Structure 1
Amino acid sequence: MIYLDYAATTPLDPEVKAGMERVWEIFGNPSSIHAAGREARHWLEEGRERIAKALGCRPRELILTAGGTESDALAILGVALSKGRGHIVSTQIEHSAVLTALKNLERLGFESTLLQPDAAGLIYPEQVAEALRPDTILVSVIAVNNEIGTVYPVKAIAELCSSKGVLFHTDAVQAFGTVPSRVEDLGADLISTAAHKFYGPKGVGALYIRKGIELFPLMPGKQEQGYRGGTENLPAVYGMGLAAEKATMVLPQEPQKLLSLRVRLETQLLALPEVELNGHPTLRSPKHVNVTARGADGEGLLLNLDMMGVSASSGSACASGSLEPSHVLTAIGRSKAEAKASVRFSIGRFTTQAEVDAAAQAFAEAVKRSRLAV
């Protein structure tokens, strides 16, 4: 199998897996005061400290969650419910976790403005500035789009929001481990991350909350400073810490390897007749290649690729099974038919040149077959 769906989830890094094995047998509850509990608390806080160091923040500024979706929800719903009312600015190309949270808030009387991206998927600080209102309480703009890989000017947007006294959140789930994503790089007040996007375990994430910001807790309890009740998943948290540490260590070199493979793949894909790139040509994550094959049957494309041993996707894994076209692709101007005839390839740490070349050949054959089926 050629796995080119790293944007959906990454394999667990062997070094992270080996490190997690050290804490599998530590069964104490980290909230208990006896020896077994204190031992569990020690390893839990070590994991938190590793994550915090990788993000460039204080350990107390991190709330451990079950993943990116919960981190996004806690940031957006937490801010809104703590304020009671107000206006939120976001974009049409956010992850479904953000868009669903905004829809739920609208049912409670909040208002939101979703900014329209350009054809390359970009959102500009000037758009945010124009959308701000006196009652705006939060701006949320994704750092790297999960479907097309476009990279957003979140630092500039964060500075704009700070100058206006408005909180800024960024979903950095696709960014961390691929592009510089420390607090100082992003400048945001709230930052969402998820371990399984950077070779850590599934089911664990974190929300950075700048010191002094108060949120309404969605899952009340004693743990996580009262923001997230429930006994923490010690092996997963420790694994996330190890994965974050390694992601930071390899960041100076790994993106260059990914970029080389991305260029190699997209050059072959775009050489095919009526195959077009989605996303910005240069301001794009080094691991994302999203293309539209005009005139092809989208479902047939993926099925044929799968039969030829290539794992790719039609967009966000969180929309898997949906009959609707990608909201990201329609937002940047693709028709519903074009959006359905699009494939996202995403490369990663264990991808090889041979796999990229074989995937490109398989895609050429899949396009040919799926066009005949239309």
Structure 2
Amino acid sequence: MSEPQSKKALTRRRLIQASAGAAAALGAAGLPVLQTSAPALGDKKITVEPLIPSQNRGIILYSVRDRISAAPDDSGVPYGFERVLARLAEIGYKEIEFAGYNQHTSILGRQITPEEIRKILDDNGLVANGTHTQIRADTFQQQLDIAETLGMKNIGTGSDPTNSAYQSDWDAAADLWNELGRQAKERGLRLYTHNHDVAYSFLLDSGPLDANGRPTASSGVRRLEYFFAKTDPKYVFFEFDIYWGYVARFKHKTYTNSRGQVRTDLFDPILNVANRTKRFPLFHAKDGDRAPEQANGHVMTPLGEGDINFQQFFEVIGEPEFHHANWEQDTAPGARPTPVSPSRSLSSATRTCPT
């Protein structure tokens, strides 16, 4: 199903025009990451509006997975759902995105239940805004049951709908996701998928064919952009990982067309969202420094310590009340490098909480 074209579709030129003034004002005012948009002068005082409202700012528990899964210890650092979620609420997070529902069985002498996790959320004034789980037809209704118990409005995965580069496999994935998305909507949830950089690599959809009859060339369409068009906007949604979007811009610049010609096409993370912004209820606010000598072109950093322009990103895509931003830092847990630092992930969560 094709997406309707917005009458106000952004171009790179319009993006620069729209964001230049806002970016200058943000820099001049010294305003914090994710906190504010362009200041407006009223009654001779500068007032600001949030880029992401405070109640829509959260954390994915993958960032503190070492402490969620930790056995009781004498480090003084919170462990397990009850203690870690209480600490995250104290820090200032309002929403939680799950990355599994298990903790160390020694805490309760058994595994915790979704009902018990829901009580911990409620007791701490936290809201579950999503999850990374397996999206499969044979277990989807059970996953919807858990999502409903936890009070989620979104259910998703940290994996692509298919790992294939071939159009036919993305067609099959779109058919499945349209159906599962319909089932989710019937129960009041949105189904979403989360990107890494490879989701924005180029689809193999053109000849010549290889020995197995598979395409070897590309028309220049990116995998997830094809999926946008093949899935129903009423049923299938997305969580944009901003860091991996910028890695995609660095890594996936060229494709070979059916004539054997190498073509260049730069991926634009902001325009990727801005022209279909209501299909992205969730984001991973993950930061990084440019490092062109590295394979990914970037190195992950704590939020606000890298050079990704989150102010520009959220200013341009608009719809702040609709969007939810979850802090993620894959490298925050302290198990590596040695020495082990049990407090590192929660210390990072404290330092980068966008409040």
Higher helix share: 1
- Asked if these proteins are the same fold (TM beyond 0.5), I'd say no
Query: Structure 2-normalised TM-score?
Result: 0.29
**Using CA pairs below 8 Å that are at least 6 residues apart, which structure has the higher relative contact order?**
1
